[in-house]
Structure 1
Amino acid sequence: MVNAITPEEAADRLAIRNLIDAYAHCADRRDAKGQMALFAQDTVFHVFMDSRSAEPTYVLHGRDALAPVFADLNQYQATTHFNGQSTIHLDGDRASGESYCIAHHLTVKGEKRTLMLASIRYLDQFMKVKGAWLFAERKLMVDWTETRNSQP
Structure 2
Amino acid sequence: MSSDVSLQQFADRSALRDLVDAYARRADVRDFGGQAALYAENGRVAVYTGDPSTNEPVQVLTGRDEIGSGVTATLKDFEQTFHFNGQSTVLTLSGDQATGETYCIAHMVTNAAGARTLTAMTIRYRDTFTRVDGTWLFAERQLIMGFTEQRPLAA
TM-score tier (shorter): over 0.9
Answer yes or no: is the 8 Å Cα contact 2:32–2:72 preserved in 1: yes
Stretches (4+) displaced over 3 A: none
Q: 2:132 matched to 1:123?
A: no
Structure 2 unaligned regions, length at least 5? none
Structure 1 position 151, deviation (Å): 5.0
Structure 1 position 138, deviation (Å): 0.5
Distance 1:109 1:91 in 2: 48
**SS of equivalent residue, structure 1 residue 23:** helix
Q: Structure 2-normalised TM-score?
A: 0.90
Partner of 1:141 in structure 2? 144
Distance 1:123 1:150 in 2: 31
Structure 1 position 9, deviation (Å): 0.6
Distance 1:142 1:13 in 2: 25
Q: 2:97 matched to 1:94?
A: yes
Answer yes or no: is the 8 Å Cα contact 2:48–2:59 preserved in 1: yes
Distance 1:138 1:98 in 2: 10
Distance 1:101 1:125 in 2: 17
1:69-117, CA deviations, whole angstroms, 9 ceiling, x for partnerless residues? 2212110110000000011021111000000000000012243111111
Structure 1 position 51, deviation (Å): 4.7
Q: Structure 1-normalised TM-score?
A: 0.92
Partner of 1:10 in structure 2? 10
Q: 2:44 matched to 1:78?
A: no
Letter in 1 for 2:114: E
Distance 1:146 1:40 in 2: 33
Distance 1:38 1:29 in 2: 15
Structure 1 unaligned regions, length at least 5? none
1:53-77, CA deviations, whole angstroms, 9 ceiling, x for partnerless residues? 3110011111111122221211011
